Every structure is written in structure tokens, then in C-alpha cells.
Amino acid sequence: VNRKILLGHNPNIYVVNSFLDQLIPATPQALNDDASTDDDDDDDDTAVGPQVLYVGPLADHYIPSDFTPDPLLQTFLEAGGNNDNDDDDDDDNQERPVCIGYGSMPYNQVSLLLEVVYKLKRRTVLVGKALELPKKKDDDMEENFKEWIDENVFHIQESAPYAWLLPQCSMMLCHGGAGVVHATLRAGIPVV
């Protein structure tokens, strides 16, 4: 019985899929208005029925009409990088920061992330409260490290519309949620 519901063969229950078509293509059977809803038709119990609706991603390209970017973030994004990397093969990609966000998931390895982006000399935007910068005493941090972090890491406390932010970044490191993955793919940057 559950299989019939999930495949859209119960006329009283709709299944809504909000996947990006490029990620999970819609099946032709689900889009066919003439598909049968006859529960007695068991010839193909794997065919997707008319009660499965493909609506596409719900909010991955949405930017609120009242959104105004933080001027400090805007300046950070426009500034380019102070990369010491000698590899100039992809200057634009090196100039744009890496974006790291884990949504509301708790994450206690921010210090490790900062060490990695410091070693790679990659400017970084941290998104969300879960990625709060560590509050170490100044003398606990190597001075060069602290100075580099202050200049090359921007922390967005709450959030920013990924549809606005990600096209200005070189890649996204995230928890793999559907919304952020869709927004990253739409922005045309790698997602890890």
C-alpha cells in the first residue's frame, strides 16, 4: 500500500517532489495528464502515477525583495583576495571566496576549518551561527594567523540568500541539504 502512495497511485494523496530537474529528472509518467488512476491496474507497479507532482526547487533562486546586503560583506566580496598562491590559472576563481555553511546543524570544528583556509590562503565566507569564529584570547593565536583571519574571513551571523551570495563565491562547503545544493548547482560552482 505504501508503495502505491509513494508512486502516486492513491487519488487522495499527492506526493510533491521539489528537486532540481538537472539533479533528479522528472519522469514522463508523472507529467502525463492522461495517466491512469485506476487502483486495479497493477500491470506496472513501478510506473509513477498522476498524484506525483514535480514542482521544481522551491526557493533556491529566491532573493527577498527587501534584502539589502551588509555593506561590509559587499565590500569583502568586491575586494578580491590577498592570495599568496602562485597558481594564476584561474584568477577569477582564486579571487572569489569559498563559502562555508552548515545551516542549523551544530559544528564544533570551526578552528580546523580556519586552519585549512589559512594554509590554502583562501578567502572565506562563513554562514550561520554554527560557524561562529572562536573567541580565543589574542595571545592564544599566532599573530600572522589572527591577522590573516581578520582580513580574509567574513562571518555572516544569521544568513544571506544563497541565490545572491553563491554566484560571488568559488565553491560551497556545506551539510548537503537540498536547498543549499540546489542553490550551489544553480550558481554553477562546486559543492562539497
The residue among 157, 165, 159 whose CA lies nearest residue 189 is 165
Give residue 164's identity as a one-letter amino acid code.
W
The CA-atom distances, in angstroms, between 135 and each of 74, 111, 132, 138, 170 are 24, 10, 9, 9, 27
Report the pLDDT value the prediction gives residue 76, as an integer from 0 to 100.
96
**172, 143 contact by CB (below 8 A):** no
Report the pLDDT value the prediction gives residue 91, as an integer from 0 to 100.
58
The whole-angstrom separation of Cα 126 and Cα 159 is 9
**170, 192 contact by CB (below 8 A):** no
Mean pLDDT by runs of 10 across the 192 residues of the chain is 74 76 56 46 62 69 86 92 48 80 82 91 91 65 84 90 94 89 89 93
Which DSSP helix (H) or strand (E) runs through 172? strand 171-174
Report the pLDDT value the prediction gives residue 191, as an integer from 0 to 100.
93
The whole-angstrom separation of Cα 94 and Cα 83 is 7
The whole-angstrom separation of Cα 171 and Cα 192 is 8
The strand pair at 98-101 and 15-17 is best described as: unpaired
Task: Give residue for cell 502515477.
Answer: 49
Report the pLDDT value the prediction gives residue 74, as an integer from 0 to 100.
94
* pTM as predicted: 0.67
